[in-house]
Amino acid sequence: MNLDTGWFGEAGDPDELRELLVAFLLDQKLLAQNDRLLSDLREVSPDLRAALERAERNGQAWSAWKHRGEVHAVSAELDEPRCRTLGRSVLLVFVHNAAGRVVASGSWVETLQGQWLPAHPHIQHQQPVHLARLMRS
């Protein structure tokens, strides 16, 4: 991303946003070695599919994966004002349940070393939940 030309330009780059989201998932260890990323929304429930399609229409990236037979999904968008302020990638990440509802959210900033740290202040969707614990429960 380039601060001089703006974040993703006018129309945005969904592939770059999805790469950031996957990097976040890997850094937070939400994807286990045997987990399988899903690229076809037909592999998720109709309710979750509708939520992820809506997220995509609204300019968000999404990622879904199977862990021990259970589907997990998140969507994310760039917090562009905070990206400009911090000079770093800042993602607003939304955790979806099987029914497609957002059950947790958080704001995360990428460090120069490629790690993702909570970007405070951010009001959580519900009670603050460690994402790895939420996804593995």
Which pLDDT tens digit goes with each residue over 20-69?
999 999 999 998 888 999 999 999 999 999 999 999 999 999 999 999 88
Q: Is residue 3 part of a domain?
A: no
Domain assignment present for 104: yes
Residue 42 in domain? yes
59-62's contacts with Cβ under 8 Å and 24+ in sequence apart are 59/12, 59/14, 60/17, 60/94, 61/14, 61/17, 61/18, 61/20, 61/21, 62/18, 62/21
- pTM: predicted TM-score of the whole model, two decimal places: 0.80
Within-domain flag for 1:
no
The answer to the question of residue 44 being in a domain is yes
Number of domains in the chain: 1
- The range of the structural domain enclosing residue 122 comes to 14-136
